[in-house]
């Protein structure tokens, strides 16, 4: 005896196994499958052939996954643009702050140090670990970046000369931008 609910549950498992992980498209596809099966039953087919032909009409899981991946890539590219903009604004603001407040550089540098050596690399690093195709390589990139940024922070803190502070801040920003660039490459390659 054909069980529609069981067949739909099996179909969902196949879709999940093929890589359509996100629940939203899967729910939409399931609703579509139910409507198409019902329409075919109303047109005279019995339940099982109606369901099977509706599944065929929806398409193969692998090709669907590839199409959904394209949609995700669009999102990734938009995200990459946003991150690049963020990195550029961040770089410009740090440089401007260092130039404008040269006399109070010490205090500003403490904020720079906190941001550059912990918060931002951590954010970039956590994104890499989620998306990296080669996690070991990405991990090395993050740790190298962390070390360089930490070294810059050290220079900023222990140097009384504003030029050193400025140079260290610029190097920190370049390293941070580089980490972001590696991360977006990994994301695009992964998608």
Q: Which residues bind other proteins (CB under 8 A)?
A: 24-25, 27-29, 31-32, 34-36, 57-59, 63-64, 67-68, 70-71, 74-75, 78
Nearer to other proteins, 10 or 104 (CB): 10
Range 127-143 burial, b when 16+ CB lie within 10 A, else e? bbeebbeeeeebeebbe
Minimum gap (Å) between residue 188 Cβ and other proteins: 15
Q: Among residues 25 and 150, whose Cβ is nearest to other proteins? A: 25
Of 73 and 181, which CB lies nearer to other proteins in the complex structure?
A: 73
| Residue closer to other proteins (CB basis): 31 or 92 | 31
- Report the C-alpha gap between 59 and 170 in whole angstroms: 52
Q: What is the DSSP letter of 103?
A: G
CB of 80 to other proteins, least distance (A): 13
**Cβ atoms of residues 153 and 117 within 8 Å:** yes
Distance in Å, CB of 131 to other proteins, minimum? 17
Least distance CB 82 / other proteins (angstroms): 13
Q: Is 63:174 a contact under the CB 8 Å cutoff?
A: no
Phi then psi for residue 29, to 5 deg, are -65, -35
């Amino acid at each position: 005896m054909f069980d529609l609910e069981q067949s739909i549950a099996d179909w969902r498992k196949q879709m999940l196994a093929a890589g359509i992980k996100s629940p939203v498209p899967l729910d939409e596809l399931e609703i579509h499958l139910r409507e198409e099966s019902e329409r075919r039953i109303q047109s005279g087919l019995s339940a099982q052939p109606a369901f099977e032909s509706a599944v065929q009409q929806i398409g193969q899981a692998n090709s669907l996954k590839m199409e959904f991946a394209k949609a995700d890539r669009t999102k990734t590219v938009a995200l990459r643009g946003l991150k690049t903009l963020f990195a550029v604004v961040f770089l410009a603001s740090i440089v401007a702050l260092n130039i404008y407040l040269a006399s109070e550089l010490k205090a500003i540098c403490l904020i720079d140090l906190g941001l550059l050596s912990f918060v931002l690399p951590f954010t970039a690093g956590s994104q890499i670990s989620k998306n990296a195709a080669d996690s070991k390589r990405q991990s090395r990139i993050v740790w190298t970046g962390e070390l360089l940024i930490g070294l810059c922070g050290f220079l900023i803190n222990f140097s009384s000369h504003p030029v050193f502070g400025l140079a260290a801040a610029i190097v920190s920003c370049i390293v941070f931008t580089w980490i972001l660039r590696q991360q977006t490459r990994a994301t695009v390659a992964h998608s």
